[in-house]
Homo-oligomer: A and B are copies of this chain.
């Protein structure tokens, strides 16, 4: 623990401060504008200080992506836990996912592009975990007889893809944000119709 309170001259938790500032910057100005040096300036440390916590810029971005998945996961789990009915679970997951994805557009993009590069296994794993949540929902739905039997992976991925796609085109301004709720609702409805026995 820090000695007194304010700035122990070793800042205390630069890493966290960097991540916080980075997320704000990401949200407000986009990835491209995110400069390690800016963060350092904003926080009040020297331009090389971040390097002690993140090997390079990409490492910071990867860390952001990782926490992004963690938050998304938590939100999804919470939503799923408070819905018992199967269609309700699908709806809840859809709403929470698309909401997160549109409210954290830049972060989401990071989450889905940080992984291209080899070595970002933790991120890929995080993404798979999230996807796994949906697949589980599907599997339960099949077990309950609400869905036709079949590979829950396939079906879950398609559902996931639809949500991701909706978020993607809304974030891309191809479609106005006002349509979001309606689209999600249409998608869920069609999904339930298309996948029932």
Contacts and interface: CB of A to CB of B under 8 A. Distances in A.
Nearest to A114: B172
Interface stretch (A8-16, A43-51, A85-93, A179-187): A179-187
| Copies of this chain in the oligomer | 2
A193 interface: yes
Interface residues of A, number: 40
A160 B169 contact: yes
Contact of A169 (B157, B174, B182): B157
A188 to B, nearest CB: 10
A168 B112 CA distance: 8
Given A193-B194, A195-B194, A166 B175 contact: no
A83 interface: no
B172 A168 contact: no
B112 A172 contact: yes
Interface in A148-194: 154-155, 157-158, 160-166, 168-169, 171-175, 179, 182-183, 186-187, 189-194
B183 A194 contact: no
Contacts of A127: 172, 174
A128 interface: yes
A55 to B, nearest CB: 16
Contacts of A157: 166, 169, 175, 179, 183
A192 B169 CA distance: 21
A13 to B, nearest CB: 29
